[in-house]
Amino acid sequence: MSTSPLEQARGFLPIFWERVRSEQWRRGVSLVLIVLACAFPLLDSNEGDLDAAANATAFATLALGLNIVVGFAGLLDLGYAAFFAIGAYTYGVFSSYQVQPEWSGFWEPFQWLGFVARAHSEGVPVDHVHFQVSFWLMLPVSALVAAFFGVVFGAPTLRLKGDYLAIVTLGFGEIVPIVARNTPYLTNGAQGLNGALPPNLLGYSFGVQSLPFYYLGVALVVFLIFVSSRLKESRIGRAWLAIREDEIAAEAMGVNRTKLKLLAFAVGAGFAGMTGTFYVAKLQTATPEMFTFPVSVMLLVMIVLGGMGSVAGVVIGALLLQLLQSWFLQDLTQWVHALGRFTGIGLLEEIDLVQSIELIFGIILVLMMLYRRQGLIPERMAVTALTHAQQTAVPSRGGLKGELKPLHGKVVDPKVPLLEIRGLAKAFGGIQAVKSLDLRVMPGSIVAIIGPNGSGKTTFFNLVTGLTLPDAGSVTLSGESIRGLGPHLIVEKGIARTFQNLRLFPNMTLMENLLVGTHTRTSTGAVGAVLRLPSVRQEEAAARERALEVLSIFGNRLMPRREHLARTLSYANRRRLEIARAIITEPVLLLLDEPTAGMNPTETLELSDQIRGLRDRGVTILLIEHKLNVVNEIAEKVIVLDHGEKIAEGSPAEVHRNEEVLRAYLGRTATAAVRAAAAS
């Protein structure tokens, strides 16, 4: 049995089967649920129950939308109801008689399209415009309008840390109802906008009946569950999760966080806008009070209860809370009253539990956070443990010698310096972390940077990868300036890195960690992810294949664990995963920040070998390393930094003899002793 781990993985694929089974299982369960949802009105024809169920669908869609923002992208939005309001008023204005401009020729084409009607009333000299845009058209239009506002409100919050984001969104959530109240021309102010048209399907008007709205709501929920799940398991969804887990690492892996955060705001707001339209069409009215802070909190409770980030969870959470509110608490109140009559306790007879729903919300939030943060249906289910055989297998070093495929598709001129730094400088307050640094790295080499702690090595990496902006100097990659580019663009240009203190995405699987690394080399957008056209499937399959290939560099260290969460890995395996994640971005230059930290001598040797293997496959390596035996063994050139300055450069042997270096590391007296020892 001398199969390479790669072949093993492709071979019997136990995990793959599990996947198929769970996929089938999931489809089966979904189908049963949809059938049940459709049969519900037959089982319970009570108009009140049906109405409550129709409302429940609206809250389920809102929870799904909020889940995109909070659960996927990790942006705590406390003013989500604002987008619900925007969608609601958008439909309200275009389907009611609230705004009635004077009739003019301008409106004629719209009349022809059926969007407006010309209203003539006796005794009034001018005619007016009555808006009556179709519900079906307004559904996507409101989603777009809300998505637009999602971007507008999201943009200023992008630079903020998580907790400030919460308070700013809370502010926007507050402003929108105030604006609605204060602009009666559009919204009829506090009295509420009335007379929004109900949807009309093939000549059948929904009117005020609950049944058609219920089915429409179920359809919307199913549609949005579909969109959410498709997005989550795509390039876009993984980038969102990566931002949620570690923004800086996500950016350093090529994720454009500005763009993806705005996309999350837009998609989430779009869901809310659509729901707003549905809700107003159903109630045929909209008042500012329908969209205030308690609504946002209720939605938050739904997703916290169900499980942030879990699509099934948030729908269940929404349904549970609606059940609680519409049925359970009412029944419970009746029982408590009965109990009160029976026991003669007056207080029990009068208590109204429905009123205490918000109290219950508060209690749910606190209890869930204290005892079950992952929610009722966690986003991540437990993964089967490794078998005994897998756990005790002899580590193999991977089969990369056999198939020497290049790791990137770029053509590099071997005579032009790959990385050239001139006069690079960076100061933090009074401390000059990097001082007029000049440095050249030729293609195909392994260069080590050494220096005492605090000598500016990591700052130098941060300057090259765009995480920190330099004060002065130039950075060029193959002759092209990359100074001032964002980290994600630098990854795209071909520089990838690892971090000294490990920045994996802890709650994502190994596979997903790697797939995030393919972000810049793939192109699926949000629409593509939802439609999942053949080209998208192909790209996804290729990315997965690539991930397996990269994992195989580390033999059977990571391969059997690829569906495990990154946070369950051992320290050395986390280092390996970080390197793998950097490699999969297809770098021409790989920056490794203390790659062997925390590894035992055998593992260190193994990794040194693998690093050389990477170089043989065309990746130039620049590494920071404290273990001098590693440096001596693999580096062709060593650069020594001290106090942000380059004090020596040359082959390992040259550097060892350099007095400056000895002084920096050992101090003046020790240097003299060493010299004396060498002389005698």
Shortest distance (Å) from residue 144 CB to other proteins: 24
Shortest distance (Å) from residue 76 CB to other proteins: 5
Shortest distance (Å) from residue 573 CB to other proteins: 21
For residue 422, what are its two tokens?
């001139």
Query: Which residues contact other proteins (rule: CB under 8 A)?
Result: 70, 74, 76, 78, 156-157, 159-164, 166-168, 170-172, 174-175, 178-179, 181-182, 293, 297, 300, 304, 355-356, 358-359, 361-366, 369-370, 373
For residue 145, what are its two tokens?
């309008």
Nearer to other proteins, 245 or 606 (CB): 245
Residue 398 to residues 344, 401, 553, 577, 604, Cα–Cα distance (Å): 77, 8, 5, 14, 15
Residue 197 to residues 62, 310, 360, 578, Cα–Cα distance (Å): 22, 35, 35, 56
Please state the separation of Cα 249 from the chain's center in Å: 12
Could you count the other beta carbons within 10 Å of the beta carbon of residue 646? 22
Residue-wise DSSP of 579-625: HHHHHTT--SEEEEESTTTT--HHHHHHHHHHHHHHHHTT-EEEEE-
Shortest distance (Å) from residue 491 CB to other proteins: 21
User: Are 563 and 466 in contact, with CB atoms under 8 Å apart?
Assistant: no
Nearer to other proteins, 562 or 574 (CB): 574
Could you count the other beta carbons within 10 Å of the beta carbon of residue 486? 14
For residue 378, what are its two tokens?
């966690």
Backbone angles phi and psi of 268, in degrees to 5: -60, -45
Shortest distance (Å) from residue 346 CB to other proteins: 16
Shortest distance (Å) from residue 583 CB to other proteins: 27
Shortest distance (Å) from residue 355 CB to other proteins: 7
Angstrom distance (rounded) from CA 47 to CA 212: 12
Angstrom distance (rounded) from CA 82 to CA 170: 9
Nearer to other proteins, 128 or 426 (CB): 426
Angstrom distance (rounded) from CA 198 to CA 207: 6
Angstrom distance (rounded) from CA 311 to CA 325: 22
Shortest distance (Å) from residue 650 CB to other proteins: 35
Nearer to other proteins, 59 or 115 (CB): 59
Shortest distance (Å) from residue 365 CB to other proteins: 3
- Helices of type H across 102-161: 108-113, 135-154
Nearer to other proteins, 169 or 210 (CB): 169
Nearer to other proteins, 76 or 383 (CB): 76
Nearer to other proteins, 157 or 552 (CB): 157
Nearer to other proteins, 341 or 373 (CB): 373
Nearer to other proteins, 341 or 567 (CB): 567
Q: Which residues contact 48 (CB under 8 A, 6 or more apart)?
A: none
Q: Which residues contact 186 (CB under 8 A, 6 or more apart)?
A: 89, 93, 98, 99
Angstrom distance (rounded) from CA 442 to CA 437: 17
Shortest distance (Å) from residue 308 CB to other proteins: 9
Nearer to other proteins, 117 or 360 (CB): 360
